[in-house]
Structure 1
């Protein structure tokens, strides 16, 4: 399956709906005229003026200016392209915002939108968001490591992040864990765990998970199915799902 159809992108209302909207709409609503002037100059590709407006503000800690400095270094707009400097400014920018900013920076690097595509940097930002408990970032890390997109394939790392996301109710992660346990991908084959994760996803209304679970049950004995169902009930009680 195409990776872009499986990696989660944030669509719900939050810090950003789309990362590119920062460039055109100014979602951060900063009143300073200098920021507005810099943003307008950047949009018009007048990078010399943009740099003159943004640099002092960025050094003073203005997060909007820091974001644009990151973009300018990432793309070589108005100054030499420098990925390390871009990362430094994005770091400063992200420190002032919540987990959604880190998630969207990861998406920006993963898609190659507004900055050159860089999956390792996307992984870095997904991890920053995942470590703060973002379930979509956790799933994305699992998916990237599971399939080896831009990084070395690492099924153990994939399972780690899938489990984090699955425990927060991400159905795709639950299904992927079911497949990995049923086929022994990166983990010892375990039909009880496979049935459990398929059953959890099925309980959330996923019809494919229901089919996988029922097919798997044909190769299991009664005690194994009973244990998997017990695990499902315990998971539902502990997770609140």
Structure 2
């Protein structure tokens, strides 16, 4: 149903900080100046600067590459409620990347990040609820998180939320997202839409989507078409 997104170490860090000069220097590839300014703000307790400093240490930008210091500042930023740092660190624990795998820590960090509406955290946390990984299986909670991520433009969440709503028998909600999937070129959504509209007894729409699915070679759609005698509509 889902694809687990494993993001490269610190690739999504928010490089904004309390000083515009640091971000400007970073964008201008003046990494030495960016490092100096971010370090000053990080030491003063700015969580965004701490997150940025972790990125610079991790990638050896403006300073010597140092994974230990990168992790130190990432943990600082996460404790300082920086949602992106919480997400990155959570994914590291979830995948066992450069740390010992710990699903419990991953769940705690992703939950904190998701509460701040980080769509990537919401998506991966939904996966944990959907699979019952470290937490009791809860498809309804998974759907809530998925929809929140999808509403923020998370593409994989958009592709999956309609299918999860089908499992929950929430066909009206499912149709909304599946229609969007179909409009975005996802022809696998055609069959699901045909099935949803059969459940809603909107057989004219079901016929339309079943035919589209059949045209793509979907054998299940042909069986659905015959079962509900959609040729009558």
Task: Provide TM-score, normalisation by structure 1.
Answer: 0.56
Unaligned runs of 5+ in 1: 29-63, 68-91, 226-241
Q: Report matched runs for 1:125-204 at 5 Å.
A: 125-204=73-152
- Spell out, residue by residue over 1:189-208, the C-alpha distance to the aligned partner (whole angstroms, 9 max, x if none): 22111111101112323343
Match of 1:116 in 2: 65
Q: What secondary structure does 1:4 align onto?
A: coil
Distance 1:100 1:169, change over 3 A: same
Distance 1:6 1:115, change over 3 A: closer
Answer whether contact 2:41 2:50 (CA < 8 A) is retained: no
Match of 1:86 in 2: none
Task: Provide TM-score, normalisation by structure 2.
Answer: 0.58
Match of 1:23 among 25, 32, 55: 32
Q: Report matched runs for 1:205-224 at 5 Å.
A: 205-221=153-169
Answer whether contact 1:177 1:194 (CA < 8 A) is retained: yes
Answer whether contact 2:9 2:92 (CA < 8 A) is retained: no
Answer whether contact 1:103 1:126 (CA < 8 A) is retained: yes
1:130 Cα deviation from its structure 2 partner: 1.7
Match of 2:14 in 1: 10
RMSD: 3.2
For this pair of structures, how many residues does the alignment match?
A: 161
Match of 1:46 in 2: none
